[in-house]
Amino acid sequence: MYHQADMVAPAVTAVFTAVLTEGPISRVRLARRLGLSSAAVTKAARPLIEMGYLHELAATERTGPGAGRPASPLAVRADREFFVGVKITADELIGVVCDLCAQVRTAIHRPLTDPDVEAVLTELGHLVDELLDSPGGYRARTRRLGLAVSGDVDPTTGLVRYSPFLRWHNVPLRERAEKLTGLTVTVENDVKALTTAEHWFGEGVGAESFALVTVGTGIGCGLVIGGRLVSGSHGVAGEIGHIGIDANGPTCHCGGRGCVEAIAGTDAIVGQARERSSRPDLTFDEAVALARRGDERVGAVFARAGNAIGCGIAAVANLVGPARIVVSGEGLAAYDLFEPHIRAGFERQAFGAAAQCPLSIRSLPFEEWARGAATVSIQALVAS
């Protein structure tokens, strides 16, 4: 066993990260990719192999022209360790168990009847036990739990400073969850957690810069610049939902006016659709159905929302200039109603060459957000 000081060496972290996100990969390619010598790569990989995190595959390629011995790529042992990830919403907990490669092994949904902190923690304890005791023998190889929560989260301390949809203020979630479960807990904003999953295991692999925009109850944005997730000095970088795009628009829960979220968030869409259809009990799904059947009044609500989202995305492209932008979230179950208007709003507002930034628009189930929470825990393991 190696001392912790050996494990935190930058070369070890760099090798582990590269094999995890881009492997299987040979030592020669790792050396080129990381700017290290072959000897340094071998030295860094040794403790990871000995502890069972990495292993060598059968030799598949030669190291160079005329080289004698074929290279044996390094790969991750996915079942070396498991991670629980939980996405906390106002009315549901979504939990997953992921392996070291962030593949979901099992998933469970638990309804929440009360978003009060105590009630959520009680249900969280039941959910974690249910996940760890499900078929697969996960409990013995699980040490870490990742939690994803909407709002203003301090990932360093695990404090949820403010979560508007849960109505939480200054909740020491990491501390409470560690006492409850006995696991090492990470807490992250849900959009940033999803962005981390896309960066390490999704469309952002290998990209030095990209943005993930999420559409749903809130409108969020995660940013990766220079290969790193951007949190900002105050932890709220990327809040495009609170960019004002209409000075005469509706009041937002943040206190601003004409925010993207006040126009395009799920609750905002439902409120506008109820008003235009004169149906005070209309649900989001019913509004989608009306728009798809050709109701012009309700269809205009989705068009306005899509345009607002597109304008917010253009602001990101103009300010940051990411190489690519992924638009996702549970709200995009109504993809067909949003998509053309998102693209039109983006193309109209994006400046110059920023309009050429590729947009990938797709819906994601809540299990992917829980996977994001688990990915933050995987990242914490690698950093440790």
Tokens 């390629």 belong to 61
Which residue, of 76, 93, 122, is where some domain finishes? 76
Q: Where does a domain end: 31, 56, 76?
A: 76
Q: Copy the structure tokens of residue 20.
A: 């995890």
In b/e form, how buried is each residue of 60-69, taking b as 16+ CB within 10 angstroms? eeebeeeeee
**What's the rounded Cα separation, in Å, for the pair 316 and 123?**
37
In a domain, 49, yes or no: yes
Query: In the predicted model, is pLDDT for residue 242 greater than 80?
Result: yes
Query: Is residue 381 within 8 Å of 144, Cβ to Cβ?
Result: yes
Considering only residues 215 and 93, tell me which one the structure prediction assigns the higher pLDDT. 93
359 lies in the same domain as 216 = yes
Q: What is the DSSP string of 112-138?
A: -S--SHHHHHHHHHHHHHHHHTSTTT-
Question: How far is CA 197 from its chain centroid?
Answer: 5
- 223 and 299: one domain? yes
Q: Are residues 126 and 244 in the same domain?
A: no
Q: Mean per-residue pLDDT for 300-314?
A: 95
291 and 340 share a domain?
yes
If you average pLDDT over every residue of the chain, what do you get? 89
Query: In a 3-state reduction of DSSP, which class is residue 225?
Result: strand
- Residue 384 CB burial class (10 angstroms; 0-12, 13-18, ≥19): exposed
**C-beta of residue 193 within 8 angstroms of C-beta of residue 158:** no
- Say yes or no: 211 and 291 in one domain: yes
Given this model, what pLDDT does residue 235 score? Answer: 60
Do 121 and 165 share a domain, yes or no? yes
236 within some domain: yes
Report, as an integer, the average pLDDT of 60-89: 79
Instruction: Assess if residue 120 is contained within a domain.
Output: yes
The average pLDDT across 105-130 equals: 96
Rg (alpha carbons) of the chain, rounded to whole number: 22
Residues 6+ apart with CB under 8 A from 380: 144, 146, 184, 186
- pLDDT value at 357 more than 50: yes
CATH number at residue 172: 3.30.420.40
Q: Residues near 193 by Cβ (< 8 Å), separated by ≥ 6?
A: 85, 146, 148, 369, 372, 373, 375, 376
Query: Could you tell me if residue 140 is inside a domain?
Result: yes
**Domain co-membership, 110 together with 26:** no
Q: pLDDT-derived band of residue 2, with 50, 70 and 90 as boundaries?
A: very low
Q: Does 19 share its domain with 102?
A: no
Q: Are 271 and 342 members of one domain?
A: yes
Would you say 177 and 185 are in contact if contact means Cβ atoms under 8 Å apart?
yes
Q: What is the pLDDT of residue 70?
A: 62
Domain boundary among 76, 105, 133: 76
Distance separating alpha carbons of residues 151 and 166, to the nearest angstrom: 9
Q: Which two tokens stand for residue 6?
A: 């050996």
Q: How confident is the model at residue 4 (pLDDT cuts 50, 70, 90)?
A: very low
Cβ pair 84, 132 in contact under 8 A: yes
- Which residue segment(s) compose the domain that 114 sits in? 81-195+368-383
d(Cα 190, Cα 297) in Å, to the nearest integer?
33
Same domain, 151 and 191: yes
Number of folded domains that form the chain? 3
We report the CATH number of the domain holding residue 55 as 1.10.10.10
Q: Is residue 202 part of a domain?
A: no
pLDDT computed for residue 60 by the predictor = 64
Contacts of 296 by beta carbon, 8 Å cutoff, 6+ apart: none
If asked whether residues 213 and 355 sit together in one domain, one would say yes
Q: Enter the pTM of the model.
A: 0.85
Between CA 71 and CA 90 the distance in angstroms is 51
| CA 129 – CA 181 distance, rounded (Å) | 8
Dump pLDDT digits (tens) for 128-171.
999 999 998 899 999 999 999 998 899 999 999 999 889 999 99
- The verdict on residue 201 lying in a domain is no
pLDDT digits (tens, 9 = 90+) for 54-67: 999 887 655 455 55
Q: Which pLDDT belongs to residue 1?
A: 41
Mean pLDDT of 25-46: 90
Q: Are 359 and 299 within one domain?
A: yes
Q: Is 200 contained in some domain?
A: no
**Residue 6: pLDDT over 80:** no
Nearest alpha carbon to residue 89 among 135, 58, 124: 124
Decide if 327 is inside a domain: yes
